[in-house]
Every structure is written in C-alpha cells, then in structure tokens.
Homo-oligomer: A and B are copies of this chain.
Amino acid sequence: MKKLINKPEDVVKEELEGMALAYPDLIKIHLDPDFDYRADAPVKGKVALISGGGSGHEPMHGGLVGHGMLDAACPGAVFTSPTPDQMLEAAKMVNSGKGVLYIIKNYTGDVMNFQMAADMARDEGIDVDTIIIDDDVAVKDSLYTAGRRGVGTTVLAEHILGAAAEKGYTLQELAALGRKVNINGRSMGMALTSCTVPAAGKPTFELGEDEMEVGIGIHGEPGRKRMKIMTADEITEILATSIIDDGPYTRTLAQWDKDKGDWVDVEVTDPPFKKGDEVLAFVNSMGGTPDIELPIIYRKLHEICEKKGLKIVRNLMGRYITSLEMQGCSITLLKMDDELKELWDAPVHTPGMRWGM
C-alpha cells in the first residue's frame, strides 16, 4: 500500500490535526469524538449546518467548513459512517440557538446515525432538522444504500444552504431549500481504477487493465456496468445522458414532523430535466484523475447540454467529492433558478472551496 500516512488507525486524527494547523483562522477541531467546526462558531443568529460521513472523500466534508458552507463536519473512519455522539457533540458546539440542520448523504449507516443524533439533540433542547441527498442516478439500491446514493449534489447543497444560512434563512426554510436542491440535482460517476482503504491495505475492488466501472459509488460500490475503457467523449456521453434522460424518480424519505413529534415518511419525486432548463454543471475528479483531464470532460458535457437544450449558467470543476486516489470522474447537473443562482454566487471561504472573500 502506497500512501503518505503513518499508522492507518491515525489517519483521520492526524488529518484533522494538520487541518487545524494549516487553517487556524477557519477551523478548530474536537477530538474524541472527532469533528471540525468553524473557528467562529457558534455564529450568532445563524442556523448551523452539519454534515459528515466516512473519510476519504476530501475535501468533503471536513474541508468544506467555514463561512458560507458548513458549521461542522463529522468524519468517520475511511468509508465508514461517523457515530451519533460525534454528530451530537458537533451540534452542541455550533448551535447558536437557531437550530441545526443535518445534511445527510443517503447511505444506510449515515442516515441511521444522523437520525439517532437528531433525536438525542432534540432531547437536549436543540431544534434539529435533517435533509437527505440521494442524487446518484446510477443504481436504485446499492451495497450500503436503500434507494439512490448521495453524491455530488451534496457539495452543491452545502454551499447553497451555507449561503442561505448566512442570509438568515430559518431552520424550516433551510430544510425546504435543501430538499429543493436535492430533487433538482442528479449525478453519476465512473472509475478507471480502484482505491485502497488504509486499514484494509488492499484495493477495494479489482478492475482489469482495459476495464472501467460506470456508475461507481464513492466507496467503490458496484455501478451499472463494467465495460471496456472508452474515450473521454464516450464516457461523458454515457454519464451525461444517463443524468439528463433520467425520468421522474419517486421514493419515500424520512422527515421530522415537528407537530407530531415523530419521523414521517414523505413521498418525494424528482422532476426530470427539460429543454430550456438552466443548470449548474459540476465535473468532479474522483481524486486520482489529474487536472488536465477534467476540462476534456467539461468540453464534451458542454456540447451535450447544448444539444439537449440545457443552458449551463454556473459550473464547478475540480476535486470536491473524492474516493481517495481513485481515478475517474463524476458529473452532477443541478437545475438552477434565480434563488439558487444568487445563493451559489454568495461568498464562501473554506479550505476546499473559496470565492468572494
């Protein structure tokens, strides 16, 4: 195993310590339980946003803490859900009294633990709501997921909600906005190579020298199809058309009903993309893919969107939701409106995403 680490069991702790040393003006860290949080938390008068998940997807989530994005992030071990005590302690640390929104990617462990943490936080008098991101069109159910997995739209939601929180949106308004972002965002990824979880010491899966996995999950979960390697243009065509041509997607998602004081299942339907839609186009590296290759993907994606009548009005290109050193990419399209465009353009200052300040 070739990695710039010390002991596999120390990776997450040492990464947090390094982040705190590198970005002392932006973030502080709490160890046992582990999380990082805004150096100026709690931010008076603002709803706090917390996300988290297995490590290995950096900069998401720990590197996306700061002004205009998350208030705290809870890292699990690599590709492993964080625990409710991390999420609870993070909520206590960053809650300003305006409440906490948990942003959850749809993996069974994450959803279960965040919902448990939400219940525990409510018992301690913290107003908590949750949103689930399940935007991956590749597969219906997966290794760690019932329903679609949560991927690239999470990064976009974290900034859009972060900007809205800075503007004074209430907890209820933020939860509604988060659900709107989720139903308007769709993603799909692919891998050219596998990746190695430090504690495992060997590749998560095997791919032949001439093979790729289309529809891969961010933990190396199987995708739609293992295929012979294709050109960048052909790969972009598969990912983009899978996203754009995806029909309405209906499922039930658990939401907290404050009046009932209980979780309720709500039926949610994602509207399909249609000609004339304005979109944010997000081309993401899985981690190991070099920067020279991403614009080649973007170039073809731009052509396909034009052909399909989608107008790219904003974009994001780079490494934001990764799978360690996996080579490959994912594409996310998010349907935009005036509210989302204004929030997207708002300043953000985190280790991993920064503009306007």
Contact of A296 with B327 in the complex, beta carbons under 8 Å: no
Q: How far is the CA of A295 from the CA of B297 in the complex (A)?
A: 29
Contact of A290 with B355 in the complex, beta carbons under 8 Å: no
Residue numbers in B under 8 Å from A356 (CB-CB): 357
Contact of A21 with B232 in the complex, beta carbons under 8 Å: no
How distant is A270 from chain B, measured CB to nearest CB, in Å? 26
Residue numbers in B under 8 Å from A322 (CB-CB): 290-291
Known: A295-B18, A315-B22, A354-B355. A232 touches B4 (CB 8 A): yes
How distant is A308 from chain B, measured CB to nearest CB, in Å? 16
Residue numbers in B under 8 Å from A288 (CB-CB): 287-288, 290, 325, 327
How distant is A32 from chain B, measured CB to nearest CB, in Å? 17
Contact of B55 with A295 in the complex, beta carbons under 8 Å: no
How distant is A127 from chain B, measured CB to nearest CB, in Å? 33
Total A residues in contact with B, Cβ cutoff 8 Å = 61
How distant is A331 from chain B, measured CB to nearest CB, in Å? 11
Stretch of A56-64, A129-137, A175-183 lying at the B interface: A56-64
Instruction: Give the number of copies in the complex.
Output: 2
Q: How far is the CA of A296 from the CA of B9 in the complex (A)?
A: 13
Residue numbers in B under 8 Å from A352 (CB-CB): 291
CB-defined A-B contacts under 8 Å, sample of 26: A2-B212, A3-B192, A3-B232, A3-B293, A4-B235, A4-B289, A4-B293, A4-B296, A4-B329, A5-B231, A6-B232, A6-B296, A14-B232, A14-B296, A15-B295, A19-B295, A56-B292, A58-B291, A63-B291, A195-B290, A288-B290, A290-B322, A290-B325, A291-B319, A317-B351, A354-B354
Which A281-307 residues sit within 8 Å CB-CB of chain B?
A: 283, 287-299, 302
Residue numbers in B under 8 Å from A283 (CB-CB): 22
